[in-house]
Amino acid sequence: MDTDCPPAERRWPEPRPAGYDPGAFTPFAVTVDIVLMTVVQRQLKLLLIRRGRPPYEGAWALPGGFVKPDEDLATAAARELLEETGISTTTGSLRQIGSYGDPARDPRMRVVTVAYGAVAVRLEEAPRGGSDAAEAELVPVAEVQSDRLPLAFDHRRIVDDAVDRLRADLETTGVAHSFCPPEFTVRELREVHEAILQTELDSGNFQRKVTGREGYITPTERRAPTGERGGRPATLWRAGRPEDAE
């Protein structure tokens, strides 16, 4: 979020290496920002936090913050997400989107931010469990990309890049699963695809495609409870191959 300034625990690892001159290069602040996405009500949404101080005071921004002295970038992203939203993720599930370092992107000082994409399973409303008490909200990605909801800093561009990346990953990886609970119906999986790609998919063709893809999903013996208006009960599936314990 480029906001909060944690106390400097120590400026440099000690002992300072011989022959190293701390004044010989430009110091940067390095932050991480997280684009946490979820699909709810057939809509792709992302988590935003309202800034409590200038610049961009009162504006919506991505959760994030400074990387600590002995922390990996992905670790910092997972920590910030936990602190600000209470959502726990593994560093392996975070995907690096890119880095943003325009000299003017933060009016206070020179900041380079590394953006990470994360996925939550059907997050209905913004969590309040974060230790950093701050107003959080889940907003549709369309609200941001249509400029109806402006963001602080260059976060709009980060969101665009994260969504582009998510769309590309949808075809080539199994990201779609991480939007669903451990057991899910093909319909749920299809609605995730539809929300992300902003398109309608033929249910029959989609079924054929995902069930035919080797090692993509495996059926269970269980059925999902039927809906309000009846209909044939859907098979519950799990991600990956049969052996996979995921």
Catalytic sites, residue numbers: 135
**Which residues are bridge partners to 45 per DSSP?**
38, 140
Query: Could you say which of 227, 241, 244, 246 contacts DNA (CB under 7 A)?
Result: 227
Can you give the binding site for its own copies, defined by CB under 8 A?
5-9, 11-13, 17, 20-30, 66-73, 96, 98-103, 107-110, 112, 114
Query: Could you say which of 18, 92, 232, 242 contacts DNA (CB under 7 A)?
Result: 232
- Looking at the Cβ atoms of 98 and 140, the one nearer to its own copies is 98
CA distance 234 to 46: 29
CA distance 140 to 155: 15
User: In a 10 Å sphere around its CB, with 0-12 CB exposed, 13-18 middle and 19+ buried, how is residue 100 labelled?
Assistant: buried
Structure tokens at 24: 């010989």
- Looking at the Cβ atoms of 13 and 230, the one nearer to its own copies is 13
Nearest approach, Cβ of 227 to DNA (angstroms)?
5
Helix, strand or coil for residue 179? helix
Contact between 55 and 106 (Cβ < 8 Å): yes
Q: Which does 209 bind (CB under 5 to 8 A by kind): DNA, its own copies, none?
A: DNA
Q: Which does 233 bind (CB under 5 to 8 A by kind): DNA, its own copies, none?
A: DNA
- Looking at the Cβ atoms of 10 and 229, the one nearer to DNA is 229
Contact between 175 and 195 (Cβ < 8 Å): no
- Looking at the Cβ atoms of 150 and 219, the one nearer to DNA is 219
Residue 208 binding DNA, by CB under 7 A: yes
CA distance 12 to 70: 10
Residue 93 binding DNA, by CB under 7 A: no
DSSP 99-142: EE--TTSSSSS-EEEEEEEEE-SS--S-----SS---EEEEEHH
Nearest approach, Cβ of 243 to DNA (angstroms)?
21
Q: Interface residues with DNA (CB under 7 A)?
A: 185-187, 202-205, 207-209, 211-212, 223, 226-227, 229-235
